[in-house]
Structure 1
Amino acid sequence: MSQEDLGKAINYSGSQVSAVENGQRPPTREYLTAVDGALGTGCVFERLLNGLVNFDHAPVWFRDWLIIEREATLIRWFEPLVVPGLLQTEAYAHAIIAGAGLMDQAEIDQRVSTRMERQGLLERCDPPTLIALVDEGVLRRSVGSPSIMADQCEHLVDRVTNSNVHVHVHVVPASAGPYAGLAGPFILAKGREFETAHLDTPWQAQILHRREDVDTLIKRWEAIRGEALPTRQSLDLIKEVAKSWQT
């Protein structure tokens, strides 16, 4: 297919197609979505864009996980302390990153931007299924301001109710008492040909590939999920907490 033919198929001029292919103009998401549609590529160009955005700006130790996250079809994420990064609002993410007091403003802005760009994988035409388990304390811990917390809670509800069943959030209530999740956060990512895990530490992330290590975390995940509320009850609790932040 010539550049002119492709341009006609996606409603762009042949010169615009040429500029993108020669590296003179960066492709927009709309452009790549149109190309995927015209060529029947199954969203491959959109996935490439999601993987490349801000990749060079991410810490070296985190880049391997960005690749895994991009290729996953199922992400299971447990967080006892903060809202999972893929579900954070920009204001909440900024408050979390800035609140540590360990970065200058330029690095804070860059980290927030990278986090927001990562969330694009939930918007692509073939998003992974994301199942998030969060401790009730996450919803009640003040991050930034009451309005930021109210918006964050409402965002969680919106993501679940408007995700076409690709996003699920379950809350472990305070009434659960001691449970398997108190050992710390972790993420399980499963793709067509892999299943791996991510552990976060104050120093850097640790990625686990060994089958026995991943299986151990899967068992822990199932134990935590057994303590979590069903979807409807979780959403009701999140809405209740959102109202408490508004008063």
Structure 2
Amino acid sequence: MEREQLATSTKWQPSKISRIEQGQATLQRAELEQLVELFWPDEEQCERLRRLATEARKRGKFGKVPDWSRQYVGLEADASALTIWDGELVPGLAQTEEYARAIVSTSVVVPPAEVEQTVKARLARQRILSRETPPELGIVLGEAALCRTVGSPAVLRRQLQHLRQLATQPNITLQILPFSSGEHAAMGASFTVLRLDLEDLTFSYAYLESLTRADTLDGQQHIETYQLVIEQLRIAALGQRETLNLLDRVIAELAEARE
């Protein structure tokens, strides 16, 4: 059915249909029932749709996040596995409150009055790491993230201590890509690869974010490319023991500088 025909049948605006199709809006129960009456899926499909819609509504409250990142936040909440590459910044799922506040405070798209709400929303997303069945989280982090003074040397030191603690959890893998590894395929880019296991289906996405927009890619060619780059980064990065040793060394240096 064409979008215009669907808009006529449901009396919804085409823009609303577009947001639903792109995963940027959730369906209320009455709206789902409209679609059920229109398309007449069989009873098994109906029940599956209703279960998925119920779960989507539970996770549809994103807190203070930009409209263009809401699709990712929804995918993140449902992800079975996430692999993150960032060359110079600790990713949001691993940030401490004061580190996150320092980062958000530099934004030119977040008004000062909304900084605290945005930080609170970012920290709330971290709850997925402590739920009963947490996702697998792999982080490959550029050595620059250990050197850039975000907030203050003390803020950075506590952030690295938190990062080290996370790295000891069984569902989390952390690797540092040292400066000595030289050039690589992900220079100038940061991205996240997500895997979602929903009932008997598996979906994969690559997510890239800039200052004012985000792209969520799901084509096989995109996914294979980003997965290949991640594997190359993992091979070039330090192993777990070497990563922890490097973190310990930088944390000790930051403590001495404070003294």
CA contact (8 A) 2:88 2:142 kept: yes
What is aligned with 1:239? 248
What is aligned with 2:47? none
- SS of the residue aligned with 1:197? strand
**CA displacement at 1:99 relative to structure 2:** 2.4
Match of 1:100 among 86, 101, 107: 107
Matched, 1:77 2:84: yes
CA contact (8 A) 1:79 1:135 kept: yes
**CA displacement at 1:102 relative to structure 2:** 4.7
Report sequence identity in percent: 30
**Deviation digits for residues 152-182 of structure 1 (CA, Å, limit 9, x no counterpart):** 0000111112x2x111110001111111221
**CA displacement at 1:112 relative to structure 2:** 0.5
Matched, 1:174 2:182: no
Matched, 1:160 2:156: no
TM-score by length of 1: 0.76
Moved more, 194-203 or 86-95: 194-203
- Note the residue ranges of structure 2 that are not aligned, 5 or more in a row: 1-51
Q: Whole-Å Cα distance in 1 between the matches of residues 196 and 111 of structure 2?
A: 36
Match of 1:189 among 178, 186, 194: 194
CA contact (8 A) 2:161 2:251 kept: yes
CA contact (8 A) 1:147 1:245 kept: yes
Matched, 1:210 2:215: no
Aligned-residue Cα RMSD (Å) equals: 1.9
CA contact (8 A) 1:50 1:70 kept: no
**Deviation digits for residues 122-165 of structure 1 (CA, Å, limit 9, x no counterpart):** 0100000000000001111110101000000000111112x2x1
Structure 1 runs of 4+ aligned residues shifted over 4 Å read 47-50
Paired residues, number: 199
**CA displacement at 1:68 relative to structure 2:** 1.0
TM-score by length of 2: 0.73
**Deviation digits for residues 204-232 of structure 1 (CA, Å, limit 9, x no counterpart):** 11100111111111111111111110011
CA 1:108–1:95: 2 relative to 1, 3 Å: same
What is aligned with 2:48? none
Q: Whole-Å Cα distance in 1 between the matches of residues 205 and 110 of structure 2?
A: 30
- SS of the residue aligned with 2:89? coil
CA 1:62–1:86: 2 relative to 1, 3 Å: same
Match of 1:51 among 56, 59, 66: 59
**Deviation digits for residues 72-103 of structure 1 (CA, Å, limit 9, x no counterpart):** 11100000020011000000000011123553
CA 1:153–1:82: 2 relative to 1, 3 Å: same
Q: Which amino acid aligns with 1:83?
A: V
Match of 1:123 among 130, 153, 162: 130
Matched, 1:62 2:69: yes
What is aligned with 1:22? none
CA contact (8 A) 2:82 2:194 kept: yes
Q: Whole-Å Cα distance in 2 between the matches of residues 185 and 112 of structure 1?
A: 20
Matched, 1:220 2:229: yes
- SS of the residue aligned with 1:132? strand
